[in-house]
Structure 1
Amino acid sequence: MKVEQIYTGCLAQGAYYITSNGEAAIIDPLRETKPYMDRLEKDGVRLKYIFETHFHADFVSGHLDLSRKTNAPIVYGTTAKPEFEAIIAADNQIFEIGGIKIKVLHTPGHTMESSCFLLLDESGKETALFSGDTLFLGDVGRPDLAQKAANMTQEKLAGLLYESLYDKILTLPDDITVYPAHGAGSACGKNMMKETMDSLGSQKKINYALNQPGKEAFIKAVTEGLLPPPAYFGMNVAMNKKGYGSFDEVLKHGLKALDAADFQAAAESLGALILDTRSDKDFAKGFIPQSVNIGLIGDFAPWVGAMVVDVKQPILLVADYGREEETVTRLSRVGFDNVLGHLSGGFETWKLAGKETDTVNRITPKQFASEVKIGESKIIDVRKESEYAAEHIQEAYSRPLAYINDWIKEVDPQEHFYLHCAGGYRSMIAASILQARGLRNFTEIEGGFNAIAQTTVPKTNFVCQSKILK
């Protein structure tokens, strides 16, 4: 028996590849199938089942393409209603893979169809729990994502989650290894650990949600402090439930190379978003007017999902040479399949063609320290509220990037302000969006708060409520 966790850091997502005696199972695969097909071929095994813990919200699963290529059936837990052929397993149903077994545990709460998969080794010993979004390390799945679809409140879903965890999961042996679907950085929970696997016994001791005195306390604990989910979550659920186009076709379209003239014509005639995936440093020096910068090196896909409202939005790419396929792949993982092509040769092609370019007014932390006037200058901090609360520049306003569509409406185009995040990645996203919407009355700070903290600019952890976005 072999169990391999295939962890994708930018999505904080874990897929699982399991083999025994010539057969295999894959749990919660990502969109691109090649990594799994390569493993199956290398190991000389047949994929027998594709297990899905639930209809994922934060990424588009590869279950359909993988099933088409291998003829392996897709398995969901009780109450799931996909709009394609699948096995809907009964609670406690057993599936055999080689000499091992996988037992389905229906664990509603995160979603109604959420299930965990319990691995029994060749001797029948309960060995591992693939817990999906039901149980994370240090946390549990948020109970507010499926409330509309289930016609329930988040409190009722949290109550179901309590019963699933306390009645089914906590009764399992302490030495079982817990393999969750996500880790720290995912928006599917609020308190996840950076580790990607742990024993159930350890989680029973340190996971706050598993140490509540009762159901009401649990409901309160898991529903407190939930941030609004990213806009693309609902669209990803729909794609996972209803189906989607072949990833191979998505990749083929996205890798269409366009010269500067064709790129410009497509942008103007098709209403496409120009997405520049270069680093914030390169983008600041020059870019195509109206383009939005979300750097590939970073939490690329989640930020695209948070900033671009519609997964069907036509997209034209400006990418570093040789990273076009990676970019299209990572976009497809969160459902952005409508990539029309990329600028052949990247931004240099645009410049060599003599096309109009733009820049961002970016200054160094040292320059910022020399010219800012605390109490007079307006400073906008686009980090998370928790980062701002830990420490921030005195008199700075907290305006998280995730809420830019709300706070951009209050920006006075006649009032200058300074803009920063932690390191420059998020503030450049904000800067590109501001300029795309006609706002240029700001100065962005290179290196963000991490660099500013090394200067003499006054800092504080006192939070003035009037500086927080209402």
Structure 2
Amino acid sequence: MLLKYFYDEKLAQASYMVGCQATGEALVVDPSRDIEAYLKTAKQEGLTITKVAETHIHADFVSGAKELAIETGATAMLSGEGGNEWSYQFLDEINHQLVHDGDMFKVGNVTLEVMHTPGHTPESISFVLYDRGQEYPMGIFTGDFVFVGDVGRPDLLEKAAGQENTSEVGARDMYASLQRFKALPDYMQLWPGHGAGSACGKSLGAIPTSTVGYEKLTNWALLAEDEETFIKDLTSEQPEPPKYFAVMKKVNKEGPALLRQLDEPEEMKPSVSILQPKLEDHLQMIDTRPASEFAKEHVPGTINIPHNKGFANWAGWIVNYDKPVHLIANESAMSDLKQALRSVGADQIDGFMAPEQIESLKEQGMKMESYTIKTPEEVAPLIENGDVNLVDVRNEGEWNDGHIPQATHIHLGYLEDRIEEVPTDKPVVLQCQSGGRSAMATSILQANGIKEVINMAGGFGAWSKKDLPQTK
């Protein structure tokens, strides 16, 4: 048997390939939208992908199950649990088999048993793997059910998909599912769908895999013995779900477009006379340069989401999905940027402009914008004397752990939606934990007409190191 692990660091998302080398068949579990890695691996290993399995309708990335099933002709093994409300709506486009608790299917000499594990979502299933007809299972693909050190959050249907009063129901389902998990043999390997950094839980471990036995000994959720206490602990202090999660649930339920059906973005070399009116009419243009370069000068009306590991996540938070996206980026970066945007369902990428074009726009008379960066020591007296307004754009957990007394708290991902809450009678200082998120926030304020902005270098971390005033 062959077992391959694939990991998207941008989204902290894991997928797997199971191959039977005796028969040349392979299965992919929870594929990401870009399927090239699976096709390449299958070819290298002399395998044919005959099945695709999905643990649930994902909320945090665009699934590749439909794409892989269509491009390879594989049969998609999809959950038939959870009721009609959360059933797949693209089944007539693919070869598929709906599976239920206790069902078993084979990939060559490898057998997988379906285990219905609701809690994170009603339709959630896990796959228990047996090699070569063995009586003893080797491991379990848990998707967003059990992670290393954590379990899937039950509140996404309520917070991201708008399904009211589902958090507690999901938490009770999760508790019941965990009792079944506890009955599994300790020696079984655990293959989860996410690692540290995912918003599908609150304390995921950075180790890619574990064992059932180790999780029984160390995972807080599996150590819980009282159901009511467990529900309270599971539903509290969960991170804010990115806004794009609601889009992903819908996209993955209805079935995403195939990548080959999407238009390719064209390179833009616009004149000021063409670009200026479009920007004034709220053209959505994302500048992917580092924050330090954007701070020095940038095209008015553009928003800065630097091209780094966090790009996909923050694009999902900030991009308006109802409008086409235009990028300021080098052509060499476009392949990665397209993949990142499409992985979170931002498919309308109309065009891109090389950073060098900024100089051309300046030569044509376009006036660029910039913003000031100040250290905590420089802004502390301004804050203390009331000469500036301070906005903290960190998440709720960070805010609760400690914040600057004069700050207004608005999470970065909700800043544009809550722009009216930003006080504008004085210059605005933006602050996060280290300075990265507040740089993006600074660009959002400027793009929305709030021009007198200052980014606090080093954020609350640097503020705390200087022993400046804070409260809880």
Compute the TM-score of the two structures, normalised by the length of structure 2. Answer: 0.89
How many Å separate the matches in 1 of 2:449 and 2:68?
A: 44
2:209 corresponds in structure 1 to 197
Aligned to 1:412: 423
For structure 1, list consecutive stretches of 5 or more residues without a partner in the other structure.
464-470
Verify the 8 A CA contact 1:313 1:336 in the aligned structure 2.
no
Helix, strand or coil for the counterpart of 1:10? coil
Following superposition, the deviation at residue 401 of structure 1 comes to: 1.4
Q: What is the CA–CA distance in structure 2 between the aligned matches of 1:266 and 1:39, rounded to whole Å?
A: 48
- 2:339 counterpart of 1:337: no
User: Which amino acid in structure 2 is aligned with residue 350 of structure 1?
Assistant: I
**Matches of 2:429 and 2:401, distance apart in 1:** 20
Larger CA deviation: 385-394 vs 125-134 = 385-394
Q: Does the 8 Å contact 1:369/1:457 carry over to 2?
A: no
CA distance in 2, matches of 1:115, 1:92: 10
Letter in 1 for 2:62: V
Deviation at 1:394, TM superposition (A): 5.6
The one of 325, 349, 370 equivalent to 2:335 is 325
Q: Equivalents in 2 of 1:19, 1:89: separation in Å? A: 20
In the other structure, the counterpart of 1:11 is: 11
Per-residue Cα deviation, 1:70-107 (whole angstroms, up to 9, x for no partner): 10011112326211223111212112112211111111
Question: More deviation in 232-241 or 213-222?
Answer: 213-222
- In the alignment, the residues of structure 2 paired with residue 64 and residue 373 of structure 1 have an alpha-carbon distance, to the nearest angstrom, of 53
Aligned pair partner of 1:435 in 446, 453, 472: 446
Counterpart residue identity of residue 88, structure 2: P
- What do residues 285-322 of structure 1 show as CA deviations (whole Å, max 9, x unaligned)? 222211111112131112111123x4342111111341
Residues in 1 aligned to 2:59 and 2:2: alpha-carbon distance in whole angstroms:
28
- Alignment partner of 1:160 is 2:180: no
**Corresponding residue for residue 103 of structure 1:** 113
Structure 1 residues 127 and 109 mapped into 2: Cα distance closer, same or farther (>3 Å)? same
Secondary structure at 1:196 match in 2: coil
- Whole-Å Cα distance in 2 between the matches of residues 327 and 129 of structure 1? 33
State the partner residue of 2:259.
247
SS of the residue corresponding to residue 69 of structure 1 reads helix
TM-score (structure 1 length as normaliser): 0.89
Task: Kindly state the Cα deviation for residue 406 of structure 1 after the two structures are TM-superposed.
Answer: 5.4
- 2:359: which partner in 1? 351
Contact 1:175 1:199 (8 Å CA) reproduced:
yes
Distance 1:108 1:373, change over 3 A: closer
What's the offset of the Cα at 1:151? 7.0
Ranges of 4+ aligned residues in structure 1 off by more than 6 Å = 148-151
Letter in structure 1 aligned against 2:108: G
Residues 418-427 or 326-335, more deviating: 418-427
Distance 1:82 1:285 in 2: 48
After superposing the two structures, state which structure 1 stretch, 358-367 or 274-283, moved more.
Answer: 358-367
Task: Please name the residue that 2:371 is paired with.
Answer: 361
Partner-residue secondary structure (3-state), 2:445: helix
Per-residue deviation, 1:392: 4.3
SS state at 1:157 partner: helix
2:30 maps to a residue whose letter is: D
Residue type of the partner of 2:414?
Y
> Is the aligned partner of 1:222 residue 2:230?
no
Distance in 1, Cα, partners of 2:113 & 2:100: 10
Which of 22, 25, 30 matches 1:23?
25
Letter in 1 for 2:359: K
> Residues 265, 442 of structure 1: CA spacing in aligned structure 2 closer, same or farther, 3 A cutoff?
closer
Residue 116 of structure 1 aligns to a residue in which SS? strand
Residue 201 of structure 2: SS of its match in structure 1? coil
CA separation of 1:274/1:392 partners in 2, compared to 1, >3 Å: closer, same or farther? Answer: same
Specify whether residues 395 and 249 from structure 1 end up closer, same or farther in structure 2 by C-alpha distance, changes over 3 A only. Answer: same
- In the alignment, is the contact (CA less than 8 A) between 2:111 and 2:133 conserved in 1? no
Matches within 5 A, 1:4-403: 4-21=4-21, 22-79=24-81, 81-85=87-91, 86-122=96-132, 124=134, 125-147=136-158, 153-167=166-180, 169-250=181-262, 252-254=263-265, 256-261=266-271, 264=275, 267=278, 272-308=283-319, 310-343=320-353, 346-353=354-361, 354-355=363-364, 356-365=366-375, 368=378, 372=382, 374-377=384-387, 378-393=389-404, 395-403=406-414
Deviations 1:227-282 (A, max 9, x none): 442222121111111112221343x523x212123982894599541011111111
Given residue 294 of structure 1, which amino acid in structure 2 is its aligned partner? Answer: I
Change (3 A) 1:292 1:268: closer
The RMSD of aligned alpha carbons is 2.5
Distance 1:283 1:149 in 2: 36
For the 8 Å contact 1:317–1:341, the answer to whether it is kept is yes
Distance 1:208 1:420 in 2: 32
SS in 2 for 1:95: strand
Q: Please tell me the residue identity of whatever aligns with 2:244.
A: Y
- Give how far 1:145 is off: 2.0
Q: For structure 2, which runs of at least 5 residues remain unmatched after alignment?
A: none
Distance 1:458 1:149, change over 3 A: closer
| 3-state DSSP of counterpart to 1:76 | strand
Cα distance in 2 for residues equivalent to 1:312 and 1:242: 17
Query: Closer, same or farther in 2 for the Cα pair 1:445/1:123, shift >3 Å?
Result: same
Shift of 1:359: 2.9
**1:139, CA displacement in angstroms?**
1.6
2: distance between equivalents of 1:386 and 1:149?
A: 22
Query: Is 1:382–1:401's contact at 8 Å kept on the other side of the alignment?
Result: yes
**In 1: Cα distance, 2:279 partner to 2:141 partner:** 47
C-alpha distance 78-206 of structure 1, shift in aligned 2 (>3 A): same
Amino acid at match of 1:429: M
